[in-house]
Amino acid sequence: MNPHRPITILGIETSCDETSAAIVRAKLGNSPQVLADVTLSQIAEHQPFGGVVPEIAARAHSAHLDRLIAQALHDAQLGLGDIDAIAATAGPGLIGGVIVGLATAKALAYGLNRPLIAVNHLEGHALTARLCDDVAFPYLLLLVSGGHCQILAVEGVGQYRRLGTTIDDAVGEAFDKAAKLMDLGYPGGPEIERWAAAGDPTRFALPRPMVGRPNFDFSFSGLKTALRQLVEANLPLSRKDCADLAAGFQTAIGDCLADRMQRAMEHFNERYDLQPDDRRLVIAGGVAANKYLRSRLGEIAENKNYRLISPPGKWCTDNAVMIAWAGIERFSLGLVDPLTTRARARWPLDQDAPAIAHNRAQMMALGQTKQI
Ligand code: KG4
Ligand code: ZN
């Protein structure tokens, strides 16, 4: 690869309920450019069911993806011949949707005679901060999404060491379930954030599971049960009840994340001998779009001499820019994949991960959840 020539990559994301295509260009020594970023959310189609329906998602991806790719090329004022490689999410996720995106990427790669890059969706979330900001390896990552809640040490592209994870619900899942309990709408995270803004977080007492424990793990199911009991004891809920419960719930989550991340930063300092100026805490994944949580984590990062970095909200929730960027990172290292690469419903980022579902989409694919 010629380091003086820019690399232009088309990214495709179809692992859950956003159909997305993006084009990112990077050249050694220059800031990367997002030339196109097109996302079609399927929220309205899934809303009546209170969660993502895999069949509907897969059909919607196949109905819209071609048009979105054409739109991305149009926005970037490029032709297919200008694309150096095609990057697509190859998992983890709802398998029908992943197959649609990966098969489209393979067809383009084959037809254009360009390399395919099969991207792990979680790696997309994990590396986005390096597109937006000056973040060198290693860094500490809090990955908080609809189905995963993990603390990882990111040592390099493809090199992840997991410090902690949730032992039950993922944090985004907890937000979604909490909103469902109060009938606030789907997806729950943004709704809880909106209601919490007008609420009193001290009115209702809610637990802080795992706080103070000598590990880096999370647990949110007890918090959800406590919320359910409060909801049931206060029916019918007034608007004020909803706002106060949402604020109490969001604050409890903030306390849990802050406690776990404080410990993680102390551990990270011991393990990686970084100068204070080089310490970075990155938050990524859909829940990282929450402004209250960002500001809570910003405070504890500052106390520990870390810089908090979080991509803009639109690149925290699922999007193809993160997949195109992960594609650039991998392509720059010569990491490309054969056209025989398979779509994967499960695909943990770290090799040591137990064989459990790691993301909302996966759990749904496995039929283990989504009765929210
Ligand atoms: O990363 P993402 O788009 O999809 C997955 O890979 O899971 O994350 C979606 C999750 C949902 O659970 C949604 O409720 C949550 O992120 N979320 C939020 C906010 N925006 C999205 N949670 C809390 N506050 C938000 N503002
Ligand atoms: Zn995601």
- Together in a domain, 15 and 76: yes
- Together in a domain, 184 and 105: no
Using alpha carbons, select from 304, 305, 286, 283 the residue that is nearest to residue 295. Answer: 283
Instruction: Indicate whether 345 belongs to any domain.
Output: no
How many other CB atoms sit within 10 Å of the CB of residue 158?
14
**Domain housing 238:** 136-311+353-365
pLDDT score recorded for residue 352: 61
pLDDT score recorded for residue 289: 94
pLDDT in tens, 40-51: 998 888 888 877
Kindly tell me if the per-residue pLDDT of 37 is higher than 90: yes
Average pLDDT, integer, range 59-75: 97
Average pLDDT, the chain: 92
Average pLDDT, integer, range 184-195: 94
Instruction: Indicate whether 340 belongs to any domain.
Output: no
Look at 161 and 367; give whichever has higher pLDDT: 161
pLDDT in tens, 296-337: 999 999 999 999 999 999 999 999 999 999 999 999 999 999
**Beta-carbon contacts of residue 31 (< 8 Å; ≥ 6 apart):** none
pLDDT in tens, 245-303: 999 999 999 999 999 999 999 999 999 999 999 999 999 999 999 999 999 999 999 99
Q: What is the residue-wise DSSP string for 86-110?
A: EEEEEESS-HHHHHHHHHHHHHHHH
Kindly tell me if the per-residue pLDDT of 101 is higher than 90: yes
Instruction: Indicate whether 292 belongs to any domain.
Output: yes
- Together in a domain, 114 and 160: no
- Together in a domain, 231 and 192: yes
pLDDT score recorded for residue 325: 98
State in Å: Cα 306 to ligand 1 middle: 24
pLDDT score recorded for residue 232: 98
Q: What is the DSSP letter of 153?
A: E
- Together in a domain, 203 and 295: yes
- Beta strands per DSSP E along 84-186: 85-91, 116-120, 139-144, 149-156, 159-165
**C-alpha 371, offset from chain centre:** 21
Kindly tell me if the per-residue pLDDT of 354 is higher than 80: no
- Together in a domain, 85 and 114: yes
- Together in a domain, 209 and 291: yes
- Together in a domain, 106 and 221: no
Using alpha carbons, select from 280, 266, 297, 285 the residue that is nearest to residue 358. Answer: 285
The residue contributing the CA closest to ligand 1 atom 7 is 146
Check: CB of residue 321 under 8 Å from CB of residue 123. Answer: no
CATH number, domain with residue 153: 3.30.420.40
Q: What is the DSSP letter of 50?
A: T
Residues having CB closer than 6 A to ligand 1 are 16, 145-147, 172, 175-176, 187-190, 193, 285-287, 289-290, 317-318, 359-360
* Closest ligand 1 atom number to CA of residue 148: 7
Torsion sign, CA atoms 119, 104, 14, 52: negative
Kindly tell me if the per-residue pLDDT of 361 is higher than 60: no
Q: Give CA–CA dist 231/201, Å, rounded.
A: 15
| Pocket-testing residue among 15, 128, 145, ligand 1, by greatest number of atoms within 8 A of Cβ | 145
370: confidence class by pLDDT, cuts 50, 70, 90: very low
Closest ligand to the CA of 187? 1
- Together in a domain, 306 and 320: no
pLDDT score recorded for residue 43: 86
Q: Give CA–CA dist 316/104, Å, rounded.
A: 24
Instruction: Indicate whether 29 belongs to any domain.
Output: yes
Instruction: Indicate whether 71 belongs to any domain.
Output: yes
Q: Is the pTM of this model over 0.75?
A: yes
- Together in a domain, 231 and 360: yes
pLDDT score recorded for residue 372: 26
Instruction: Indicate whether 344 belongs to any domain.
Output: no
pLDDT score recorded for residue 369: 33
pLDDT score recorded for residue 16: 92
Neighbours of ion ligand 2 (CB under 5 A): 145, 318
Q: Give CA–CA dist 36/48, Å, rounded.
A: 31
**Beta-carbon contacts of residue 29 (< 8 Å; ≥ 6 apart):** none
**Beta-carbon contacts of residue 301 (< 8 Å; ≥ 6 apart):** 261, 265, 281, 307, 308
Domain count, the chain: 2
Above pLDDT 90, what percent of the chain? 85
- Together in a domain, 197 and 223: yes
